[in-house]
Structure 1
C-alpha cells in the first residue's frame, strides 16, 4: 500500500481554509489520497446505538437497527462508487452513538471529488431513515424536522483530515477505532472534559499591583494547587548535550512532585514535555487558539486528542487558554517588549512570547486561582 506522502498529488496541497473544516485550498480532491471523515448526527442525538462495557478496555457500541444500516452503507461505498468509475477502499469505520468516523483511501484519480462521494453517502443514510425508521421514531423527529436530514448542518458538510505524513495513516485508524474507549472514559469523568470559562489567576505584580488574568480550562484543575511548579522553557539554540542536561534537571524536579508548566512551543520544549508525560508526570499546557470558539456548537463535545486525552483522564493534565485581555495585559506586553521590541501584538512571535511569560508567572508567582 502506498503511503499518502507517496501520492503524485502531494504537491497540490498548501493552505487550509479554517472556515471550512480543514479544506485544503489547493488539494486535488479528485486525486489519490487518504482521508479521515467525521460526520455528526443532528443535535448529536444517539441515533446509531449505545455505549456498553464494564471497563474502558471492554467498551463497545451496540448499534441500533438504523446504525447497522448506516454502517452497511459506508462499507458499501467502494462497490457503489466502482460503478461510477471510482476506486475507493474503506480502511476503518467506527460508528458511535451520535457520530461516525470513517477512513477512506482513494486509490486512483476519480471523475468526481471525494466530497461528492461523502455527500452521496449522507443522502443515502437520510433516505434510509425516511424510508424505514422515521415514522416510528418520535424521539428524534424534532431534530430531523429542522432540515430533513439526519446529519448535523454545517456549511462545509463534514469534518475531514487529509493524511500526508509517514505514520499518520496508522495513527488515524487507531484514533477512529479507539473512540468507544475514550467515550467510556469521558462518561466516567465528565468534570475533566467540561470546559471551564473565566478561570482566574489573581496575583501581585512586580509593581505591587493586583493583576487578574482569565483563562478557559479543561482537565485537572487541582494541578494548579500543587505547592511546587516548574516552567519548561528552553531556547531553540540548545544543542543535544545541553537539552539532555536540561531534561535531566526537569525530570529530577518532577520526581520530587513538581507540576511542569509550558506552552511547548520550541522543539526542545516539546521533547521535554513528551518525556515528562511518558513518565506519567503531571503537566499544565498553555494553548493559543487550541479550543473551539467559546459557546460554539463544537465546544460542548470537545475533548483533547490522542495522548492528551489519556493524560487528562488519568489526572495528569490541565489545558489552559488565556483570553484576549490577558494576552494584552501590560505586564505581559512589557515582558514581550523586553524580549522582542519589534513584535506587534497580533503576531505569532508576540503570542508565543506571551505564553512563555504566562507559564513563568504560573510557575513562580504566589497567586490565587478561582472560578
Structure 2
C-alpha cells in the first residue's frame, strides 16, 4: 500500500459519497461478500480514511454484515438500501404533512367566523381597541375596501419605515384606482427620506394629494368621516377604532385645519420649497421652546432628529444674535422678533 496517498476521503463532503467509498463499493459488488480487512488492503488510502469510507457505506446500507459471519460484508443494491433507509422517514413525513393539511383546513374554516364576529363587534361599538398589528391590518383592509368617498391620513414622525410603506402600497393604490379621494399629511423630515418620497410620488401619480406640515397632532386615518383609526397611547402597535360622530367631527376639523396650513409635498428638489419648509420648522422650534419644551421633546414632536434640531437652533441663534441659550431665551421672549428676522431672511 502506497505511503504517498492524499486524503481521498476529503474529496467530497461527509454527507456525500467519496471517490474512495465508490471504488470500494465497486470492488465489493464484484463479489458475493468481502471482509473489512480485504477492503482495507484494496484501498490505496490511510486506515482512517478507509474506515470512514466503509462506515459510510454501512450507514447508507449498501453494505451489510453477513448474518452468519459479521466479518463478511455483503453488497446491497442502492434501490433496496433506499427502501430500507428512507421509506420510514418518507412515511412519517407524509403522515405529518397530512396532519398539517387537515389542521390547516379546519382552522381556515373557522377564520371567516372569527373575522366576521370581531368586525361585527367593532362596527357596533363607538370606541374599540385593536391590540396587535394583525388586527390593525385586518381593520385597515376592511375599512379601505368599504370606503366610498374619501380617506384622510396623518403620518407623524418623519420618514416611515420601508416595510410599512411596502405593506401599505397595494392597499392604497387599490383604493385610489376605485376613484376614492385620498389626502395625506407628512411631517417636514419625510421629504428628505427617499423611500417615503417614492411612496408619495406613487400616490400622487394615482390621484392622491400629499402635503407637508411641521407638526402633526397624531397618527390618524379617517374613512368617509364615519370611522377613524388613531394611535393608542399605551400600545404603539395597536389602534383605537372611533365611530363616535362627535369625536369624528373633531378629528376631521383638526385635520382640515392642518391641511389648510400645509405645503405641497416636494416630489423633486425645489429650492424655494425647501427654504420655505426650513423657515417653518424654525418658527415651530421657536414656538415650542418658548412654551418650555426641552430639545428632545421638540425634535420628537417635529419628527426630526436631535442633530437636525440642533442645526436649526444654531441658525436661529445666529439670526437673532444670541450669544448662548440663555441669551436666546431672553431675545425670543417676544416671538415677533424671530418672525421679523425670518421675513428678512426670506426676502434676501
Question: Do both proteins adopt the same fold according to a TM-score greater than 0.5, normalized to the shorter chain?
Answer: no
Scaled by the length of structure 2, what TM-score is found?
0.23
- Which structure has the highest strand share of the two? 1
Larger RCO (CA within 8 A; separation ≥ 6): 1
- Which structure has the highest helix share of the two? 2
Scaled by the length of structure 1, what TM-score is found?
0.22
Bigger CA radius of gyration: 2
